[in-house]
Amino acid sequence: MAKIEHKGKAYEVDEDGFLAKGMEEWDNGWVDYVKSIEGITDMTDEHQKVIDALQEYYKKNGIAPMVRILSKTTGFPLKRIYELFPSGPGKGACKMAGLPKPTGCV
Amino acid sequence: MGYDPENPMKDRITDIGPPHFERFFPALVKKNYGKWLYHEILKPGVLKHVSETGDELYTVRIACARLISIELIRDYCDIADKHADGIMRWTTRNNVEFMVDSAAKVEPLLADLKKHGSMPVGGTGAGISNMVHTQGWIHCHTPATDASGVVKAIMDELFDYFTSMTMPAQVRVALACCLNMCGAVHCSDIAVLGVHRKPPMIDQDLISNVCELPLAIAACPLGAVKPAKGINSEGKEVKSVTVNEEKCMFCGNCYTMCPAMPLADPDGDGIAILVGGKISNSRSMPKFSKMVIPFLPNRPPRWPEVVAAVKNIVEVYAKDAKKYERLGEWAERIGWEMFFEKCNIPFSDKCVDDYRLAYNTWRTSTQFKYTSHIK
């Protein structure tokens, strides 16, 4: 596993840049790092709302929410989620929230 | 402008879809679109379509390895530039077709294809066309066998059937390197399928970080995966799963969902052969292919057992089936017990369905034929 450094803190990541240890290592510095590589200029409350929703669902259920559930709990249609996270809910928002990398035939 | 990583959304073009296919039509196809009257197969690999306007289109089909370099694509383009107004197409079995607008242009095209050396003409009519196949060890992470290697070994042996039309009906051969069955394995006359024979290994150090455990549990078709506490290499207790090895049938679905449950194994993995599937509606309904050989070992680079098994089935079918009869229609007409006898394939308990709807596949009749090939 590779390590990346952002503002003096090291994070263990896999080859796609997802946190290898998940939410154990997750902090605001990580959010700031992902923001810088995902082309997100400024973090808004809406970004935060998506991340909170993902983390809350993951802590409760052990899986990332389905896209429709994410849309329903945040109130953002998929189009808006892509506007907030250009790489999409999986590669963008889940990565920023410190969730495991999406698996399956993606 | 060039892509700017600092500003990824700038000048971004999206949702434009594929280009419209009409842009790449040969002039003669564009002119006669929707007006074709009939077609003939002039000889293996050469088709003639006649339009109601009187125009004739000649198509030459050649085999393609599917996995090809840009060099070979450029070779195709050179041939297309020279003979076919720069236009070519790929078929749904990944063969390549060149189209010319007069009979006089066919022979020079065939001569150039022959000169190239790796553009064999064929794949039409009642022969064996290209094998639909998958990624294998070239690119995928869940295979139980290779794709390109096995396909090359089999097509080398079946090559004469590609360049001729001597079968009772067309024989579709397909390969998938795991039972995700990307492609056409479940509905092909002869199907080559990578299978595992050992349960997954659980990486306790990784599993709780890289896996969404409920997904791994729900991925199992037999309920063999259950949540459990695991002990990682530091002696710490972690959230994990257990696999009931008595229930596991080695499908690998849990590994697809969870990278910490790998199951590939050089001795355990190999190939199963399925036969009798079809997708066309002609004469009989579409059929699923059925497993007849549960396991053959992986023996790269030439897979001799697999090649021999496929060739044997092809030859017995070619000799025994009636004209127009697909392999599955033949096996069902003579009875599967006769299929096994004629092909001299030992029948094993592995071929008896035992998954949920299995009952319907057993024989609830006294109609059968006595066979004796297994002593």
B195 bridge partner residues? B270
Backbone angles phi, psi at B355, to 5 degrees: -115, 105
Contact (CB<8Å) A39/B215: no
Instruction: Give the chain A residue whose CA is nearest to the CA of B252.
Output: A104
Verify whether the Cβ–Cβ distance B7 to A39 is below 8 Å. yes
pLDDT tens string B250-283 = 999 999 999 999 999 999 999 999 999 999 999 9
Q: Regarding beta strands B56-62 and B46-51, do their DSSP bridges make them parallel or antiparallel, or are they unpaired?
A: antiparallel
For residue A86, list chain B residues with Cβ-Cβ distance below 8 A: 8-9
Q: How far does the CA of residue B18 sit from the closest CA of chain A (Å)?
A: 20
Query: What pLDDT, on the 0 to 100 scale, is given for residue A38?
Result: 85
Confidence of residue B375 (pLDDT cuts 50, 70, 90): low
Residue from B139, B210, B236 to probe the interface with A (highest A Cβ count within 10 Å): B210
CA-CA-CA-CA torsion sign (B60, B275, B174, B114): negative
In Å, what is the CA distance from B369 to each residue of B322, B328, B334, B351, B356? 20, 18, 9, 18, 27
B66 token code pair: 């599917």
Residues 66-85 of A with CB under 8 A from B: none
CA angle A82, B206, B204 (to 5 degrees): 145
- CA B11 and chain centroid, separation: 40
Helix (H, G, I), strand (E, B) or coil at A104: coil
> What digits encode the pLDDT tens for the residues B199-243?
999 999 999 999 999 999 999 999 999 999 999 999 999 999 999
A62 touches chain B (CB under 8 A): yes
Judged by phi (left if over 0) then psi (alpha if -120 to 50, else beta), residue B54 lies in: left
pLDDT at A29 over 90: yes
CB–CB contacts below 8 A, A to B = 42
Cβ-nearest to B9 among A20, A21, A39:
A39
C-beta atoms of B209 and A86 within 8 A: no
- Please report, as a single letter, which amino acid is at residue B300: P
- A100–B212 CB contact, under 8 Å: yes
pLDDT at residue B171 greater than cutoff 90? yes
Chain A CB contacts of B180 under 8 Å are: 105
